[in-house]
Amino acid sequence: MPELPEVENTKRYLIESGIKNLTIESVWTDSPTKWIGTDPHKFHSDFLGSRIVDVERVAKYLIIHTSVDDFILHLGMTGWIRLQHADAEAHKFTRHVIHFSNSDELRFMDSRKFGKIICQQKLTQSLLPDPLSDQFALNKLPASVLGRKRSIKSILMDQSVIPGLGNLYTDESLFQATINPFTPIKDLTTAQLELLTIKIKSVLQRSLDEYDLDRGINDAEPYFSMTPWDINRSVDGPCFKCGAPMQFARINSRGTYFCPQCQSM
Ligand SMILES: [Zn+2]
Protein backbone atom coordinates (compact mmCIF):
# COMPACT_ATOMS: atom_id res chain seq x y z
CA MET A 1 0.00 0.00 0.00
CA PRO A 2 1.45 3.40 -0.92
CA GLU A 3 2.36 5.27 2.26
CA LEU A 4 4.07 8.63 2.74
CA PRO A 5 7.44 7.82 1.05
CA GLU A 6 5.73 6.12 -1.92
CA VAL A 7 3.49 9.15 -2.47
CA GLU A 8 6.44 11.53 -2.02
CA ASN A 9 8.39 9.39 -4.51
CA THR A 10 5.52 9.66 -7.00
CA LYS A 11 5.49 13.45 -6.58
CA ARG A 12 9.24 13.70 -7.19
CA TYR A 13 8.94 11.36 -10.19
CA LEU A 14 6.15 13.43 -11.76
CA ILE A 15 8.10 16.66 -11.37
CA GLU A 16 11.34 15.12 -12.68
CA SER A 17 9.43 13.59 -15.61
CA GLY A 18 8.35 17.06 -16.69
CA ILE A 19 4.68 17.23 -15.74
CA LYS A 20 4.93 20.95 -15.03
CA ASN A 21 3.57 23.16 -17.81
CA LEU A 22 1.76 20.28 -19.57
CA THR A 23 -1.71 21.28 -20.78
CA ILE A 24 -4.74 19.09 -20.09
CA GLU A 25 -6.59 18.09 -23.24
CA SER A 26 -8.89 15.19 -22.39
CA VAL A 27 -9.56 12.41 -19.89
CA TRP A 28 -10.46 8.72 -20.04
CA THR A 29 -11.56 6.33 -17.31
CA ASP A 30 -13.03 2.88 -16.84
CA SER A 31 -14.05 3.74 -13.26
CA PRO A 32 -16.12 6.96 -13.29
CA THR A 33 -17.37 6.35 -9.73
CA LYS A 34 -13.82 6.98 -8.47
CA TRP A 35 -14.05 10.65 -9.52
CA ILE A 36 -15.16 12.40 -6.34
CA GLY A 37 -16.69 15.90 -6.34
CA THR A 38 -16.68 15.79 -10.13
CA ASP A 39 -17.18 13.32 -12.99
CA PRO A 40 -15.06 12.72 -16.08
CA HIS A 41 -17.23 15.02 -18.26
CA LYS A 42 -17.28 17.84 -15.74
CA PHE A 43 -13.55 17.41 -15.09
CA HIS A 44 -12.90 17.65 -18.83
CA SER A 45 -14.88 20.86 -19.22
CA ASP A 46 -13.48 22.37 -15.99
CA PHE A 47 -9.81 21.60 -16.74
CA LEU A 48 -9.65 21.68 -20.56
CA GLY A 49 -6.69 23.85 -21.54
CA SER A 50 -5.43 24.23 -17.97
CA ARG A 51 -1.70 24.00 -17.36
CA ILE A 52 -0.04 21.93 -14.61
CA VAL A 53 1.67 24.41 -12.29
CA ASP A 54 3.01 22.15 -9.54
CA VAL A 55 2.60 18.87 -7.67
CA GLU A 56 2.47 18.89 -3.90
CA ARG A 57 2.15 16.08 -1.37
CA VAL A 58 -0.09 16.56 1.64
CA ALA A 59 -0.11 13.47 3.88
CA LYS A 60 -0.76 10.61 1.43
CA TYR A 61 -2.48 12.83 -1.15
CA LEU A 62 -1.02 14.35 -4.30
CA ILE A 63 -2.33 17.83 -4.96
CA ILE A 64 -2.10 18.77 -8.62
CA HIS A 65 -2.08 22.55 -8.91
CA THR A 66 -3.21 23.78 -12.31
CA SER A 67 -3.65 27.24 -13.80
CA VAL A 68 -7.42 26.85 -13.29
CA ASP A 69 -7.91 24.93 -10.03
CA ASP A 70 -6.42 22.14 -7.93
CA PHE A 71 -7.37 18.49 -8.00
CA ILE A 72 -6.25 15.65 -5.78
CA LEU A 73 -5.03 12.12 -6.49
CA HIS A 74 -5.25 9.44 -3.83
CA LEU A 75 -3.50 6.16 -4.66
CA GLY A 76 -5.70 4.06 -2.35
CA MET A 77 -4.43 0.52 -1.67
CA THR A 78 -2.81 -0.40 -4.98
CA GLY A 79 -2.61 2.79 -7.08
CA TRP A 80 0.49 3.88 -8.98
CA ILE A 81 1.14 6.51 -11.60
CA ARG A 82 3.18 6.90 -14.75
CA LEU A 83 3.71 9.81 -17.09
CA GLN A 84 4.02 8.18 -20.50
CA HIS A 85 3.67 9.00 -24.17
CA ALA A 86 0.33 8.05 -25.68
CA ASP A 87 2.10 5.52 -27.93
CA ALA A 88 3.49 3.56 -24.94
CA GLU A 89 1.59 0.35 -24.26
CA ALA A 90 -1.01 0.81 -21.54
CA HIS A 91 -0.90 -1.41 -18.45
CA LYS A 92 -3.91 -3.70 -17.99
CA PHE A 93 -4.83 -2.02 -14.71
CA THR A 94 -4.98 1.49 -16.21
CA ARG A 95 -8.10 3.06 -14.68
CA HIS A 96 -7.78 6.77 -15.38
CA VAL A 97 -5.85 8.75 -18.00
CA ILE A 98 -5.32 12.48 -18.25
CA HIS A 99 -4.17 13.25 -21.77
CA PHE A 100 -1.98 16.29 -22.36
CA SER A 101 -1.65 18.42 -25.51
CA ASN A 102 1.93 17.15 -26.18
CA SER A 103 0.64 13.51 -26.31
CA ASP A 104 1.98 12.64 -22.86
CA GLU A 105 -0.47 10.94 -20.54
CA LEU A 106 -0.78 10.73 -16.80
CA ARG A 107 -1.82 7.10 -16.32
CA PHE A 108 -3.31 5.96 -13.03
CA MET A 109 -3.07 2.18 -12.60
CA ASP A 110 -5.00 0.52 -9.78
CA SER A 111 -5.75 -3.21 -9.55
CA ARG A 112 -8.11 -2.97 -6.58
CA LYS A 113 -9.73 0.33 -7.51
CA PHE A 114 -9.53 2.13 -4.15
CA GLY A 115 -7.71 5.10 -5.73
CA LYS A 116 -9.56 8.34 -6.37
CA ILE A 117 -9.47 11.59 -8.32
CA ILE A 118 -10.93 14.26 -6.07
CA CYS A 119 -12.12 17.81 -6.80
CA GLN A 120 -13.53 20.56 -4.62
CA GLN A 121 -12.54 19.02 -1.29
CA LYS A 122 -10.52 20.40 1.57
CA LEU A 123 -8.20 17.90 3.24
CA THR A 124 -8.49 17.43 6.99
CA GLN A 125 -5.89 19.31 8.99
CA SER A 126 -3.81 17.16 11.33
CA LEU A 127 -2.64 18.24 14.80
CA LEU A 128 1.02 17.80 13.84
CA PRO A 129 2.79 18.93 10.64
CA ASP A 130 4.21 16.52 8.06
CA PRO A 131 6.58 13.95 9.65
CA LEU A 132 9.33 15.00 7.21
CA SER A 133 9.17 18.62 8.36
CA ASP A 134 11.57 20.00 10.98
CA GLN A 135 8.62 21.05 13.14
CA PHE A 136 7.32 17.49 13.53
CA ALA A 137 7.74 16.28 17.13
CA LEU A 138 5.46 13.97 19.13
CA ASN A 139 6.21 15.99 22.28
CA LYS A 140 4.38 18.90 20.67
CA LEU A 141 1.06 17.04 20.77
CA PRO A 142 -1.47 18.73 23.05
CA ALA A 143 -1.77 17.42 26.60
CA SER A 144 -5.27 16.21 25.75
CA VAL A 145 -3.69 13.66 23.37
CA LEU A 146 -0.53 12.91 25.39
CA GLY A 147 -2.63 12.13 28.46
CA ARG A 148 -4.81 9.53 26.80
CA LYS A 149 -4.96 5.78 27.42
CA ARG A 150 -5.12 5.16 23.68
CA SER A 151 -2.34 2.97 22.25
CA ILE A 152 0.62 4.70 20.60
CA LYS A 153 0.09 2.70 17.40
CA SER A 154 -3.50 3.84 17.12
CA ILE A 155 -2.42 7.48 17.69
CA LEU A 156 0.32 7.25 15.04
CA MET A 157 -2.18 5.87 12.52
CA ASP A 158 -4.78 8.57 13.20
CA GLN A 159 -4.69 10.99 10.26
CA SER A 160 -6.34 13.71 12.35
CA VAL A 161 -3.29 13.60 14.64
CA ILE A 162 -0.38 12.83 12.26
CA PRO A 163 -0.58 13.24 8.49
CA GLY A 164 0.38 10.39 6.24
CA LEU A 165 2.07 7.80 8.42
CA GLY A 166 0.97 4.38 7.19
CA ASN A 167 0.81 0.95 8.80
CA LEU A 168 4.16 -0.43 7.61
CA TYR A 169 6.20 2.66 8.56
CA THR A 170 4.43 2.87 11.93
CA ASP A 171 5.36 -0.73 12.82
CA GLU A 172 8.94 -0.21 11.68
CA SER A 173 9.32 3.04 13.67
CA LEU A 174 7.93 1.47 16.86
CA PHE A 175 10.24 -1.52 16.40
CA GLN A 176 13.27 0.73 15.97
CA ALA A 177 12.30 2.78 19.02
CA THR A 178 11.72 -0.49 20.99
CA ILE A 179 8.22 0.64 21.97
CA ASN A 180 5.35 -1.85 22.26
CA PRO A 181 2.54 -0.78 19.91
CA PHE A 182 -0.09 -1.35 22.62
CA THR A 183 1.57 1.10 25.07
CA PRO A 184 -0.90 3.82 26.10
CA ILE A 185 0.53 7.14 24.91
CA LYS A 186 0.22 8.51 28.47
CA ASP A 187 2.78 5.92 29.67
CA LEU A 188 5.51 7.04 27.25
CA THR A 189 8.26 9.22 28.67
CA THR A 190 9.44 12.43 27.02
CA ALA A 191 12.65 10.60 26.06
CA GLN A 192 10.67 7.78 24.44
CA LEU A 193 8.56 10.25 22.45
CA GLU A 194 11.74 12.01 21.34
CA LEU A 195 13.32 8.71 20.29
CA LEU A 196 10.16 7.68 18.43
CA THR A 197 10.11 11.05 16.62
CA ILE A 198 13.72 10.48 15.50
CA LYS A 199 12.96 6.93 14.38
CA ILE A 200 9.85 7.96 12.40
CA LYS A 201 11.91 10.56 10.54
CA SER A 202 14.86 8.24 9.93
CA VAL A 203 12.67 5.35 8.77
CA LEU A 204 10.89 7.62 6.28
CA GLN A 205 14.13 9.25 5.16
CA ARG A 206 15.87 5.91 4.64
CA SER A 207 13.06 4.88 2.35
CA LEU A 208 13.11 8.17 0.44
CA ASP A 209 16.87 7.84 -0.05
CA GLU A 210 16.30 4.40 -1.61
CA TYR A 211 13.68 5.81 -3.96
CA ASP A 212 15.85 8.81 -4.89
CA LEU A 213 18.70 6.45 -5.69
CA ASP A 214 16.41 4.25 -7.76
CA ARG A 215 15.04 7.16 -9.80
CA GLY A 216 18.59 8.31 -10.43
CA ILE A 217 19.78 4.89 -11.65
CA ASN A 218 16.71 3.54 -13.37
CA ASP A 219 14.56 5.16 -16.00
CA ALA A 220 13.05 7.70 -13.63
CA GLU A 221 10.09 5.51 -12.77
CA PRO A 222 8.94 5.17 -9.19
CA TYR A 223 8.89 1.63 -7.90
CA PHE A 224 7.12 0.66 -4.72
CA SER A 225 8.22 -1.79 -2.05
CA MET A 226 11.88 -0.81 -2.12
CA THR A 227 12.00 0.10 1.52
CA PRO A 228 14.55 -1.75 3.64
CA TRP A 229 12.83 -3.06 6.78
CA ASP A 230 14.45 -4.12 10.04
CA ILE A 231 11.25 -5.68 11.35
CA ASN A 232 10.36 -9.24 10.37
CA ARG A 233 6.72 -9.37 9.26
CA SER A 234 6.17 -13.10 9.39
CA VAL A 235 4.07 -14.60 12.16
CA ASP A 236 6.35 -16.47 14.58
CA GLY A 237 9.29 -15.52 12.36
CA PRO A 238 12.39 -14.69 14.41
CA CYS A 239 13.02 -11.09 15.41
CA PHE A 240 16.06 -10.02 13.37
CA LYS A 241 17.48 -8.30 16.46
CA CYS A 242 17.02 -10.85 19.25
CA GLY A 243 15.69 -14.04 17.61
CA ALA A 244 12.46 -14.17 19.66
CA PRO A 245 9.28 -15.22 17.79
CA MET A 246 7.49 -12.17 16.35
CA GLN A 247 3.91 -11.52 17.40
CA PHE A 248 0.97 -10.49 15.26
CA ALA A 249 -2.04 -8.55 16.54
CA ARG A 250 -4.69 -6.21 15.23
CA ILE A 251 -4.87 -2.61 16.41
CA ASN A 252 -7.83 -0.68 15.00
CA SER A 253 -8.18 -3.62 12.60
CA ARG A 254 -4.71 -3.00 11.17
CA GLY A 255 -2.28 -5.92 11.14
CA THR A 256 0.55 -5.20 13.57
CA TYR A 257 3.87 -7.00 13.98
CA PHE A 258 6.11 -6.54 16.98
CA CYS A 259 8.79 -8.33 18.98
CA PRO A 260 7.48 -9.09 22.50
CA GLN A 261 11.06 -9.15 23.80
CA CYS A 262 12.58 -6.04 22.16
CA GLN A 263 9.27 -4.15 22.50
CA SER A 264 8.14 -5.31 25.93
CA MET A 265 5.56 -3.20 27.79
ZN1 LIG B 1 13.45 -8.79 19.30
Judged against a pLDDT cut of 90, whether residue 47 lies above it is answered with yes
Average pLDDT over residues 243-248: 96
Class of domain 138-258: mainly alpha
* Ligand 1 ion local residues (Cβ < 5 A): 239, 241-242, 244, 259, 261-262
Q: Give residue 263 CA to ligand 1 midpoint distance, Å.
A: 7
Which of 57, 60, 107, 116 does the annotation list as catalytic?
Answer: 60
- Annotated catalytic, 60? yes
Average pLDDT over residues 137-162: 97
pLDDT at position 189: 97
How far does CA 192 lie from the centroid of its chain?
25
Between CA 163 and CA 131 the distance in angstroms is: 7
SS3 (DSSP) at 110:
strand
- The string of pLDDT tens digits covering residues 154-202 is 999 999 999 999 899 999 999 999 999 999 999 999 999 999 999 999 9
pLDDT at position 228: 84
- Annotated catalytic, 254? yes
Judged against a pLDDT cut of 90, whether residue 148 lies above it is answered with yes
Q: Give residue 142 CA to ligand 1 midpoint distance, Å.
A: 32
Q: Give residue 171 CA to ligand 1 midpoint distance, Å.
A: 13
- The string of pLDDT tens digits covering residues 4-36 is 999 999 999 999 999 999 999 999 999 999 999
pLDDT at position 217: 81
Which of 32, 241, 254, 260 does the annotation list as catalytic?
Answer: 254
3-state secondary structure string across 43-96: HHHHHCCCEEEEEEEECCEEEEEECCCEEEEECCCCEEEEEEECCCCCCCCEEE
pLDDT at position 116: 97
- Selecting from 3.40.1160.10, 3.40.190.10, 3.60.150.10, 3.20.190.10, what CATH number does the domain 4-118 have? 3.20.190.10
- What ranges do the domains of the chain cover? 4-118, 138-258
